[in-house]
Amino acid sequence: MREKVIAILAGLGMMGVSATGVLAADAAAGKAVFDKSCVGCHGADGKGNPGMAKVLGEKGLNLTTKEVKSQSDDQLLKVIAEGRGKMPAQSKLSKDDQKAALSYVRSLAK
């Protein structure tokens, strides 16, 4: 398995594409999705919109916490797709848009 990953990454490198570049592109695409669908509650920096936290009574709007970082991509994609608590499902977003938004959220937490 490790050899397959190395071969894929090497192939991307030969094509002039780095894994970092691919991840950066995903994060850039995700920013557009995040800005359109998420920023109202989670804030531009992902640390939560204080006004929405007050209105919703939610403390979980900060996406840069250790708790969020520790969740797997699958767990967070489920939250995006199905919602949780007062967060509505974002099922109107395509799977690719959901993944791109998650990639952007992961970049905010660094």
Over residues 56-84, the mean pLDDT reads 93
93, two tokens:
């977003």
pLDDT of residue 59: 80
Over residues 1-5, the mean pLDDT reads 46
Threshold 0.75, pTM exceeds:
no
Over residues 27-41, the mean pLDDT reads 93
Of 88 and 24, more confident: 88
SS3 readout for 59-109: CCCCCCCHHHHHCCHHHHHHHHHHCECCECCCCCCCHHHHHHHHHHHHHHC
pLDDT of residue 24: 57
Mean pLDDT of the chain: 82
What domains can you pick out in the chain, each with its CATH number?
A: 2-108 (1.10.760.10)
Confidence of residue 28 (pLDDT cuts 50, 70, 90): confident
